[in-house]
C-alpha cells in the first residue's frame, strides 16, 4: 500500500448536496490537501431507481461552488458493477460466501420473530451451510457473506477510537442481489480498494457499516483503510436536520447570499477545532486540519453564526468580486426587486462605488442588494414608515433649509456636501443628526443607509437634488 493519502467523497445522487455532505467533502478535501494527497470523487449510483442526472449535477456544482476540487475523473459506481460481481463470485469460490434462497417473506418472518423475542434482527443463516442442490426451483438467489459467527469485529476509528462489535450480533449480509447487482456494502469495499483509498472519512451514520465492511475486507484478505467517522450535523432543535432548518442543498445557501469562504469556515468549525481559533483562511485550515481534533458529539446547525462569518468574509472581500457574486444569483433575486437578471452598466458602476459602505453593513449578499435599493429605486421614492416619520413637518422644514445650500454646490462630492450640511448645522445650532436623518430619508427612503455623504456622492448631484425636491413638493 502506498504512503500517499487518498481520500474520497462518495455521495449517492439521490438529492442535492446537503450541508452534512458538504462538510464531509470539506474534511476529505482538507485531509488530502494537508497530507499532499488526493481526494477522489465517486458517485454511488447503484440505486438506479433513485439516482438522477440532476442530482449528479447538483453535487458537482455544489462542490465546485464551494471550491472543493477533486482529483482525477469522477468514478461512477454503477459502471463498475461487473467488477463487483466478479469479487462476489471470487468470494463464493473461496467458500467465503454462499447462495441464499430465502424469500422476502421468510426474511420478514425472521425479523418479526426476532422483534418478538427481543433479539437483534438478523438473518439466521439458514442457507449458510446448505447445499445449493436443495435450492427451490425458480428462485434466483442472492450471494451472502459467510461472516464469522463468534469473536468480535473491531474498528480503530480515527475519531471514534476503538469500536467493537460482537460477531454474533452481525448477520450474513447480502453482497450480490438476486438480479446480479452489487449491494452498497460490497461496492464500497471493492471501489475503495480498487481506488487505493487510504482514508475513509464519512458521516457517523456509517459507523455500523464499517464493521460489516471490515468483515468483507477480511474475507477478501485486503488491507483495511483508516476510518474516520465524523459526527452528524443536527438541526437547531437537536433533532435530525430537516428542510425547515439546515438540510438544504448548498445551492440554497448560495441563493440566500452566503459566500463560499464563509460556509467553508463555518463548516470546518462544526465538529473540528484548533484551540481558540475561529477564523481560518483556506490555507490556514489546510495547515491546521487533523482528524484527532475532530469531536465525537454531533453539532447543531446555527444560522446566526454562519451569518456572522458571512458578514466577516463579505467585509474582507474584494468589491468587484462581491458584485460578481451577486450577479451570479441575480437571475433569482433580480425580478422580484424590479431588477432584471443582469445589472445595467450604470447601476453596476453605482453599486461598485457604493460597495465599501454597503458591504460593511450586510450579512448576506441578499441583504446587501436590498440595502442598495436606493441606488435602483425610482423617483419619487416610496418611503418606509421610519422614513416617513423623519419627514414630518420638522424634518421637511430642515430639508428646506439645507436644500439651497446643496443646490449651490458646483463640484458635488462627499466632501463638499458634508461641508455644506455641517455649515448649516453650525449656523442654525442644529445637531448634525437632525439634518442628516431627514436627508437620509428623502434620499434613500429609509432611516438607515451607508454614510449620508457617500450616498449623495454616488447618487450624483442631479438625482440627489431631485429626490430632495420630491419631498418638498
Partner RNA sequence: GCGCCCAUCGUCUAGCGGUCUAGGACGUCGCCCUUUCACGGCGAAAACAGGGGUUCGAGUCCCCUUGGGCGCGCCA
Query: Which residues ranging from 6 to 65 are in contact with RNA (CB under 7 A)?
Result: 12, 44-47, 50
The C-alpha cell of 233 is what?
450535523
d(CA 65, CA 249): 12
Reply yes or no on whether 243 is catalytic. Answer: yes
What is the CB neighbour count within 10 angstroms for residue 263?
A: 24
Q: Does residue 192 bind RNA (CB under 7 A)?
A: no
Candidates 167, 208, 255, 282; binder of RNA (CB under 7 A) is: 208
Catalytic residue among 243, 305, 386, 431: 243
Specify the pairing of strand 142-145 against strand 226-230: unpaired
d(CA 61, CA 437): 45
In the block, residue with C-alpha cell 423623519: 390
Residues in the chain, overall count? 473
d(CA 378, CA 467): 10
240 is in an annotated binding site: no
Please report, as residue ranges, which positions from 63 to 102 form the binding site for RNA (by CB under 7 A): 77, 102
Q: Does residue 433 bind RNA (CB under 7 A)?
A: yes
Q: Which parts of 295-344 fold into alpha helices (H)? A: 303-316, 319-333
Please report, as residue ranges, which positions from 303 to 342 form the binding site for RNA (by CB under 7 A): 304-305, 307-308, 311-312, 315
Candidates 28, 215, 364, 437; binder of RNA (CB under 7 A) is: 437
Q: How far is the CB of 156 from RNA (least distance, A)?
A: 12
Task: Kindly indicate which of the ranges 121-129, 215-223, 243-251, 402-410 contains the residues binding RNA, using the contact rule CB under 7 A.
Answer: 121-129
d(CA 294, CA 301): 16
Task: Kindly indicate which of the ranges 20-28, 158-166, 281-289, 348-356 contains the residues binding RNA, using the contact rule CB under 7 A.
Answer: 158-166
Report the residue number, 428 or 448, with the smaller CB distance to RNA: 448
Q: Interface mask (CB under 7 A) for RNA, residues 259-298, using x and -?
A: ----------xxxxx-xx-x--------------x-xxxx
Please report, as residue ranges, which positions from 366 to 395 form the binding site for RNA (by CB under 7 A): none
Q: What 8-state DSSP symbol labels residue 270?
A: S
Specify the pairing of strand 6-9 against strand 226-230: unpaired
Report the residue number, 14 or 346, with the smaller CB distance to RNA: 14
Q: Does residue 128 bind RNA (CB under 7 A)?
A: no
Residue 68, φ and ψ in degrees, nearest 5: -100, 100
Q: How far is the CB of 311 from RNA (least distance, A)?
A: 6
Q: How far is the CB of 26 from RNA (least distance, A)?
A: 13
Q: Does residue 226 bind RNA (CB under 7 A)?
A: no
Q: What 8-state DSSP symbol labels residue 381?
A: P
CA distances (Å), origin 80, targets 38, 94, 170, 305, 338: 21, 22, 27, 42, 50
Give the chain's largest Cα–Cα span.
Answer: 108
Q: Does residue 448 bind RNA (CB under 7 A)?
A: yes
Report the residue number, 241 or 334, with the smaller CB distance to RNA: 241
Burial of residue 48 (CB within 10 Å: 0-12, 13-18, 19+) is: exposed
Catalytic residue list: 243
Would you list which residues are annotated within the binding site for ATP?
243
Binding residues: 243
Amino acid at each position: 500500500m502506498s504512503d500517499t493519502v487518498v481520500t474520497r467523497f462518495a455521495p449517492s445522487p439521490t438529492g442535492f448536496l446537503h450541508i452534512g455532505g458538504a462538510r464531509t467533502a470539506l474534511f476529505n478535501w482538507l485531509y488530502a490537501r494537508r497530507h499532499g494527497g488526493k481526494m477522489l470523487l465517486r458517485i454511488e449510483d447503484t440505486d438506479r431507481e433513485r439516482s438522477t442526472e440532476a442530482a449528479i449535477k447538483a453535487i458537482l456544482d455544489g462542490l465546485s461552488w464551494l471550491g472543493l476540487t477533486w482529483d482525477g475523473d469522477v468514478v461512477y459506481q454503477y459502471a463498475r458493477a461487473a467488477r463487483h460481481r466478479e469479487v462476489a463470485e471470487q468470494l463464493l469460490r473461496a467458500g467465503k460466501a454462499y447462495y441464499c434462497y430465502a424469500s422476502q417473506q421468510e426474511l420478514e418472518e425472521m425479523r418479526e420473530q426476532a422483534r418478538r423475542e427481543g433479539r437483534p434482527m438478523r438473518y439466521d443463516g439458514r442457507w449458510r451451510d446448505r447445499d445449493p442442490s436443495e435450492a427451490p426451483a425458480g428462485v434466483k438467489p442472492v450471494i451472502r457473506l459467510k461472516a464469522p459467527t463468534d469473536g468480535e469485529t473491531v474498528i480503530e476509528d480515527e475519531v471514534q477510537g476503538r469500536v467493537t462489535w460482537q460477531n454474533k450480533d452481525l448477520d450474513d449480509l447480502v453482497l450480490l442481489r438476486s438480479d446480479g447487482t452489487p449491494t452498497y456494502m460490497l461496492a464500497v469495499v471493492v471501489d475503495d480498494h480498487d481506488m487505493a483509498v487510504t482514508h475513509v472519512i464519512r458521516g457517523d451514520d456509517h459507523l455500523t457499516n464499517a464493521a460489516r465492511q471490515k468483515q468483507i475486507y477480511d474475507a477478501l484478505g485486503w488491507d483495511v483503510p483508516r476510518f474516520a467517522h465524523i459526527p452528524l450535523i443536527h438541526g437547531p432543535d437537536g433533532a435530525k436536520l430537516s428542510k425547515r432548518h439546515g438540510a438544504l442543498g448548498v445551492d440554497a445557501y448560495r441563493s440566500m447570499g452566503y459566500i463560499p469562504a464563509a460556509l467553508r469556515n463555518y463548516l470546518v468549525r462544526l465538529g473540528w477545532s484548533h484551540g481558540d481559533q475561529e477564523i481560518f483562511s483556506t490555507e490556514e485550515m489546510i495547515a491546521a486540519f487533523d482528524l484527532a481534533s475532530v469531536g465525537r458529539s454531533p453539532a447543531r446547525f446555527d444560522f446566526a453564526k454562519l451569518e456572522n462569518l458571512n458578514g466577516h468574509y463579505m467585509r474582507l472581500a474584494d468589491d468587484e468580486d462581491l458584485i460578481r457574486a451577486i450577479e451570479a444569483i441575480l437571475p433569482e433575486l433580480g425580478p422580484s426587486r424590479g431588477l432584471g437578471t443582469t445589472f445595467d452598466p450604470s447601476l453596476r458602476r453605482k453599486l461598485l462605488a457604493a460597495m465599501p459602505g454597503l458591504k460593511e453593513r450586510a450579512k448576506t449578499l441578499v441583504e446587501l442588494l436590498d440595502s442598495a435599493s436606493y441606488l435602483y429605486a425610482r423617483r419619487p421614492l416610496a418611503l418606509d414608515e421610519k422614513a416617513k416619520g423623519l419627514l414630518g413637518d420638522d424634518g421637511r422644514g430642515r430639508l428646506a433649509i439645507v436644500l439651497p445650500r446643496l443646490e449651490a454646490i458646483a463640484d458635488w462630492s462627499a466632501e463638499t456636501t458634508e461641508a455644506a450640511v455641517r455649515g448649516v448645522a453650525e449656523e442654525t445650532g442644529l445637531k448634525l443628526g437632525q439634518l442628516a436623518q431627514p436627508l437620509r430619508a428623502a434620499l434613500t427612503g429609509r432611516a438607515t443607509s451607508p454614510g449620508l455623504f457617500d450616498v449623495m456622492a454616488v447618487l450624483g448631484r442631479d438625482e440627489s437634488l431631485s429626490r430632495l425636491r420630491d419631498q418638498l413638493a
